[in-house]
Amino acid sequence: MSRARDPSGPLTFAHDQGDAQHLHTIFEHANDAILLIDPEQDRILEANRQAARMLGYDPAELIRDVRISSVHPHEMERLRQFAHAVQITGEGWTDELSCTRKDGQRLPSEISASVVQVDGRDCIVAMVRDVSARKAAEDALRRSEARFRAFVENAGDGFFLVASDGVILDTNARAAEMLGYARADELIGCSVLAIDVGLSPETFSQLLNELEVDQPRLIESRHQRRDGSVFPSEVSICAYGEAQAPSYIALLRDISQRKAAEDALARLAEMGEFAAMMVHQIRNPLSTIRMALDHVAGQSLPASATKRLDLAQREADRLSRLLEDVLAYAGRRTASPTRLAVDALIGELLPSLQALPIVTECALRVELGLGDCAIHADPAQLREVLVNLIVNACEAVAPGEPVWLRTGRQPGTGTPLIEVGNGGEPIPPDVLARIGQPFFSTKASGNGLGVAFVRRVAAAHHWTFSLQSDAATGTVARLLM
């Protein structure tokens, strides 16, 4: 005896042997699990091989020993509600139930059910599909979408999803913040041209037409905030989807700071050109004046005139050094980095260094501890750095007091270092913070460009320069290379 669909009602028994055999074949070879259940008696009346395989039972064992409540131990109340709804309407579908296998594994399931009468009782035929793989894929997709949304929402750039007609379909909080909007959804539905004032309709249309799928393009433009203010921007835009009807992803970056830095560099370059020109214009007449002073110095002069001449020569030398410092700080000299041994360079520099009048007045101690260690540096600039640091250290102490120059390695890291220090009075913290600013100096004849030049050379070589001053150690200038 088999069960078949009666056109006038629910499934009923079929008495034709041919129909029974046909239905039995379909029943046993179906890809989905098929079960005949009696919800009121908590019984499984029939089950095909796929049902037994899915639940991990022998077919006979499944019908003989397993209760419906064993298959749905955590969801019986929900199952009863579903079965009741099916019995009222004659059929139903759900994907909110799971089936528990013999080994305890829970399988997310999709169930399609219909009513069938067995011995005058309303039972249910359930076609059950294991949707574990689909659920896993859906969960993975949801997690991926959540990660992507988190990435988009927390990105430092503004994100825009743009339709082929230039209408904004989606955006993130950063875009709204950059453009002065309270919420991202306020931008949805707006035209790109309403916020990008650097593009004309024609230019924008041409840009979209030139874009190829998955080939991003970087452009600079100007964007307008909600309050009407405008800022320079950089936009990376890429087409995606079908080439015939693409959409666009655009990343917006505010480049105000970068443009300000570029403008500052341009102004600095202009100042460098001006400084070089002024040094050239002053140096020639200064050389003439110095030669004249040297000529007069060779003559016999009264003591008062000799004193005034000596002062004039010193001032001419000071002005010459100032010109050299200005030229160095303006960056008009071309650096030529090479591999060099620091200790060897200092050894070559020492005779001329010790001949400087200000250095001869101090007790200069030199401790070289790097040996053959070589670094990548411009030798001329490193010499100037050393001269600047040692002269500054000597000028800060009384005649005869010690000044030291030491090379070695930083404890812990082994980084090569140079230290120049003295034991003079500590520099007040507020003054120490300003040392290195151009034209700031605590010395009456100083110009502040010496340490400023040292800082610039250190930065260009990716060295670390620091100044430390306290009563315990004195003042120490340190270069980590």
| pLDDT tens-digit series, residues 392-417 | 888 888 899 999 999 999 998 999 99
Domain stops at, among 329, 362, 377: 329
Domain at 35, CATH number: 3.30.450.20
Mark whether 26 and 120 lie in a shared domain: yes
In this prediction, residues 155-167 reach a mean pLDDT of: 89
Is the pTM higher than 0.75?
no
Mark whether 12 and 30 lie in a shared domain: yes
Mark whether 264 and 250 lie in a shared domain: no
pLDDT score for 405: 95
pLDDT score for 126: 94
- Say whether pLDDT at 334 is over 70: no
Return the number of other C-beta atoms located less than 10 Å from residue 411's C-beta.
8
3-state SS, residue 257: helix
- Say whether pLDDT at 106 is over 80: yes
Residue 135 lies in a domain: no
pLDDT score for 452: 78
Residue 139 lies in a domain: no
In this prediction, residues 436-464 reach a mean pLDDT of: 72
Mark whether 455 and 348 lie in a shared domain: yes
- Rounded Cα gap, residues 204 and 308, in angstroms: 74
Mark whether 124 and 217 lie in a shared domain: no
Averaged pLDDT score across all residues of the chain: 85
Looking at per-residue pLDDT, the higher value among 233 and 268 belongs to 233
233 contacts 197 by C-beta, under 8 angstroms: no
- Rounded Cα gap, residues 438 and 458, in angstroms: 16
Residue 195: band (very low, low, confident or very high) from pLDDT cuts 50, 70, 90: very high
- Say whether pLDDT at 196 is over 70: yes
Residue 52 lies in a domain: yes
Residue 354 lies in a domain: yes
- Say whether pLDDT at 341 is over 50: yes
Tens digits of per-residue pLDDT, 317-326? Answer: 777 777 776 7
- Say whether pLDDT at 192 is over 60: yes
- Residue 357's nearest CA partner among 310, 413, 411, 308 is 310
Looking at per-residue pLDDT, the higher value among 274 and 460 belongs to 460
Looking at per-residue pLDDT, the higher value among 287 and 379 belongs to 379
Residue 150 lies in a domain: no
Mark whether 165 and 244 lie in a shared domain: yes
pLDDT score for 331: 59
H helices of 200-334, where?
201-210, 256-297, 303-329
Residue 435: band (very low, low, confident or very high) from pLDDT cuts 50, 70, 90: confident
- Say whether pLDDT at 51 is over 90: yes
Contacts of 461 (CB under 8 A, 6+ apart): 337, 376, 377, 378, 381, 481
pLDDT score for 7: 36
> What single DSSP character describes residue 426?
P
Residue 309: band (very low, low, confident or very high) from pLDDT cuts 50, 70, 90: confident
In this prediction, residues 32-36 reach a mean pLDDT of: 93
The count of structural domains within the chain is: 4
Residue 314: band (very low, low, confident or very high) from pLDDT cuts 50, 70, 90: confident
Mark whether 116 and 20 lie in a shared domain: yes
Q: Which of 15-29, 31-45, 138-152 has the highest mean pLDDT?
A: 31-45
- Say whether pLDDT at 227 is over 90: yes
Domain at 449, CATH number: 3.30.565.10
Token pair recorded at residue 443: 């010395």
What percentage of the chain reaches a pLDDT higher than 70? 90
Domain stops at, among 303, 329, 355: 329
Domain stops at, among 329, 359, 374: 329
Mark whether 162 and 46 lie in a shared domain: no
pLDDT score for 3: 47
3-state SS, residue 248: strand
In this prediction, residues 127-145 reach a mean pLDDT of: 88
Residue 437 lies in a domain: yes
Tens digits of per-residue pLDDT, 251-271? Answer: 999 999 999 888 887 777 777
3-state SS, residue 211: coil
∠ CA 286-290-296, rounded to 5°: 145
Q: What are phi and psi of 71, to 5 degrees?
A: -80, -30
Mark whether 39 and 78 lie in a shared domain: yes
Domain at 325, CATH number: 1.10.287
- Rounded Cα gap, residues 311 and 315, in angstroms: 6
Residue 138 lies in a domain: no
pLDDT score for 471: 82
pLDDT score for 4: 44
Mark whether 238 and 266 lie in a shared domain: no
Residue 144 lies in a domain: no
**Exposed e or buried b per residue across 127-159, where buried means at least 16 C-beta atoms within 10 angstroms of its C-beta:** bbbbbeeebeeeeeeeeeeeeeeeebeeeebbb
- Say whether pLDDT at 429 is over 50: yes
Q: What are phi and psi of 284, to 5 degrees?
A: -65, -50
- Say whether pLDDT at 244 is over 90: no
What percentage of the chain reaches a pLDDT higher than 90? 42
Residue 345: band (very low, low, confident or very high) from pLDDT cuts 50, 70, 90: very high
- Say whether pLDDT at 423 is over 50: yes
- Rounded Cα gap, residues 270 and 372, in angstroms: 41
- Say whether pLDDT at 2 is over 50: no
Mark whether 385 and 400 lie in a shared domain: yes
Mark whether 304 and 229 lie in a shared domain: no
389 contacts 381 by C-beta, under 8 angstroms: no
To the nearest 10 degrees (0 to 180), the angle between helices 379-395 and 342-354 is 50
- Say whether pLDDT at 134 is over 70: yes
Q: Which domain holds residue 20?
A: 2-130
293: exposed, middle or buried (Cβ count in 10 Å: 0-12, 13-18, 19+): middle
